[in-house]
Amino acid sequence: MNAPELIAPLREFKNHDLVDDIAKPGIRYEKRPAKRPDGRVAEGLYNVWITLDNPAQYNSYTTDMVKGAILAFRAATNARDVNCVVFTGAGSSAFCTGGNTKEYAEYYAGQPQEYRQYMRLFNDMVSAILACDKPVICRVNGMRIGGGQEIGMACDFSVSSDLARYGQAGPKHGSAPIGGATDFLPVIVGAERAMAACVLCEPFSAHKAYQMGIISDLVPALKVDGRWVANPLVETQRMVDEFGRNVYGEPKTGDALKEAKALMARGTVDLSLLDARVEELCAKILLTFPDCTTKTLEELRKPKLEACTRNKDGSRAWLALYMMPEARAGFTAFNEGSKDDREVDFVLLRQKLAAGQSWVGPLHDSIQPKLKRGA
């Protein structure tokens, strides 16, 4: 029996997609031929690539992009010829840096009812990832911050450029990371590390994310003089310092940092190894029973799914109401502040609140970055 007879459809299938046209601005949906481990194309089978396509704003997602992602994951789930899903961002700077702060500041700030509807869409995007019948691979091509970290952690596998950075942004910008981070991180890394990541909002390297178990794999993405070089900005040659504290993946300082920056300036970013590793993982998934794989995914996703399902209604309501005080101030500061100063005056804010000043009135404007600079 020849190949065309083996793959010919045996019936006319019903269409289970919610809409006929899933296209939305800022989302690319591509079916790429699936390949066997030896590189040969598996005729009639595909891997779907869902790409957040807003590189000018570090692939932050707009309302339309959130809707597009939901539809894209739903379509990939229903496609009988799809092996797995690769979720990534355009360019080499960012996978995703979360919600679009320009849209937040200019439309949602001060509009709790509107933001509550938006957060329902965001919850649905997370649910669409966790409910996808196909394995979801997060191809981390750059920063995975804030809401980008949350949708990334909803994926089943994460394969990362070692130049990528990870982290949360909540309390630094007038929010709380309760769209997924407070649900997923305790499951993945434990309570103490989750506390540090979500409260302090300090970004960390791909190497540290790998060591913490947040990602499955990482590959070098910097080429210097034709040679692959591990991220020179972080420590990769030692696990601990002289006191036994973990230093692997921690940022370099002093002269070591100066040398690292000089090496970075000589190099070029090349994501070809990242793409090869993603294709390798897709090929491994191809050689499994599809329904057994789906059931395995469903069982292993339960801790994350149960946590976010338990908390999302209350989290959505809180986030909506908090678009009036701190969130409005934080997103305005990030949107209107300079590149090097996008945070409110936290000390002044705490002093004024301690003195009993209300959010109703001039408090919002008095803590903005422009007043810290004396503008």
> Over its length of 375 residues, how does the chain's per-residue pLDDT go in tens digits?
344 445 677 788 898 998 989 999 999 999 999 999 999 999 999 999 999 999 999 999 999 999 999 999 999 999 999 999 999 999 999 999 999 999 999 999 889 999 999 999 999 999 999 999 999 999 999 999 999 999 999 999 999 999 999 999 989 988 999 999 999 999 999 999 999 999 999 999 999 999 999 999 999 999 999 999 999 999 999 999 999 999 999 999 999 999 999 999 999 999 999 999 999 999 999 999 999 999 999 999 999 999 999 999 999 999 998 888 888 899 899 888 888 888 999 999 999 999 999 887 788 888 898 776 665
Main-chain dihedrals φ then ψ at residue 8, nearest 5 degrees:
-65, 135
What amino acid occupies position 251?
P
Nearest to 335 by CA among 100, 148, 59: 100
Nearest to 271 by CA among 221, 325, 307: 221
Asked whether 150 and 187 are in contact (CB, 8 A), the reply is no
DSSP single-letter state for residue 15: P
Write out the DSSP string of 123-145.
HHHHHHHHT-SS-EEEEE-SEEE
End-to-end, the C-alpha distance of the chain in Å comes to 77
DSSP single-letter state for residue 58: T
**DSSP E strands, the chain:** 27-35, 41-52, 82-89, 94-96, 136-140, 143-145, 157-161, 165-167, 204-205, 217-219, 222-224, 227-229, 268-269
Asked whether 22 and 70 are in contact (CB, 8 A), the reply is no
pLDDT at 374: 62
Taking residue 155's Cβ as centre, other Cβ atoms within 10 Å add up to 22
Beta bridge partners of 218: 160
Residue 208: both structure tokens together:
């540290």
Between CA 209 and CA 191 the distance in angstroms is: 15
Between CA 146 and CA 168 the distance in angstroms is: 4
pTM value is 0.92
Nearest to 45 by CA among 282, 291, 327, 363: 282
Main-chain dihedrals φ then ψ at residue 7, nearest 5 degrees:
-105, 0
Residue 243: both structure tokens together:
């006191």
Between CA 275 and CA 342 the distance in angstroms is: 34
Between CA 203 and CA 187 the distance in angstroms is: 19
What domains lie within the chain, and their CATH numbers? 3-221+270-321 (3.90.226.10), 339-372 (no CATH)
Residues 6+ apart with CB under 8 A from 340: none
Nearest to 150 by CA among 82, 69, 207: 69
Between CA 323 and CA 316 the distance in angstroms is: 11
pLDDT at 90: 98
What amino acid occupies position 343?
E
Main-chain dihedrals φ then ψ at residue 167, nearest 5 degrees:
155, 175
Between CA 352 and CA 366 the distance in angstroms is: 10
